[in-house]
Amino acid sequence: MKSLYILLLFALTFSSCKDELAVNPPDLSIATEKNAYKVGEEVKFKIEGDAQLISFYSGEPLHDYTFREGRIVQPGKLRLSFQSSVEFGTQQGQFSVLVSTDFNGGSSFSDIQLANWTDITSRFTLATTAVFTYSREIDITDLAANAQTIFIAFRYKVKDQGVYGIGRTWRVENFLLNSESSVGLQKKGDIPTSGFRLFDKQANIAPSRSTLSNSRISLVAHSVTDANRNLETENWAISKGFSIGTQDYGPDRPVPIKGIADSKISTYKYVYTKEGIYKAVFIGYNANISGSAELKKELTVTINP
């Protein structure tokens, strides 16, 4: 009988503690001061109630509640631009822009010869003087169909300098490869980040004087001697392989706006930088050793130009 009494008392005590430890669901109410805002205007969210943790999805790419479990991004449009200049010498047709999707990334000139290259020089505006000329931003998406990687190359040919004259000096600056997909405009590479390497076809007997820096590609012919005056050679500057296939970005992430140790908040301010209709989502979260509870509050925010 005594044992039964102890068990009954334990059960009642445990039930009482469990009730005391029960998780209270978050109590949140979110509202904005008006229905529409302009780009760059501060959106003020009024918050009533409280939660131990509060996080915010703005509805923008990479911060969209819809993609909280993961985001797979299809290839976007590829756009290429650069500036070029040319001076000295008299040779014509030395400079070309090429693209490959099967270059193996090797370090020998034979690796270049094994790859398929598409000449896209005619798509760009090239310099005719030492003044740097903008190429225009050109869409090269058609060259990347069904490919996972793309390489950009600047090829520089030197013909017989005894017949065609001294080679000219070509320079490239402000190289920029952009991709525009569902997550917005992304910079794929510029000169400092594109991993350009120089390849010289006749490096042993007629080494070119081409150079690379963090801001410029300089393509310069070899010095003329009696031994190499009549040689024809090539010098290439080739980028790293840019990933252009389908990409797994993982889950979109919220911004934490209140932690457990933080005081209760009554407002949250945010600025949208692009027009559109956004699904703003606030997540309230309470938890203790007995469990957790979550509450989602969703608002539509219209951003006008």
pLDDT at 21: 64
Q: Which amino acid is at 181?
A: S
**pLDDT tens-digit series, residues 210-267:** 999 999 999 998 887 666 777 888 999 999 999 998 889 899 999 999 999 999 999 9
Other Cβ atoms less than 10 A from the Cβ of 27: the count is 12
Domain boundary among 248, 270, 289: 248
The per-residue pLDDT of the chain, averaged, comes to: 90
Q: How many domains does the chain have?
A: 2
pLDDT at 20: 53
Parent domain of 101: 77-248
Q: Would you say 94 and 161 are in contact if contact means Cβ atoms under 8 Å apart?
A: no
- Closest by CA position to 100, among listed 140, 137, 135, 136: 140
Q: Output the six-digit token pair for 165.
A: 């004259």
Domain boundary among 248, 264, 280: 248
pLDDT higher than 60, residue 111: yes
Tell me: do 243 and 256 sit in the same domain. no
Q: Report the DSSP pairing between strands 36-38 and 291-304.
A: parallel
Q: What is the CATH number of the domain that holds 261?
A: 2.60.40.10
Confidence of residue 5 (pLDDT cuts 50, 70, 90): very low
Q: Give the separation between CA 28 and CA 295, rounded to whole angstroms.
A: 8
Q: Give the separation between CA 168 and CA 220, rounded to whole angstroms.
A: 7
Q: Output the six-digit token pair for 199.
A: 């390849």
Tell me: do 95 and 15 sit in the same domain. no
Percent over 90 (pLDDT), the chain: 75
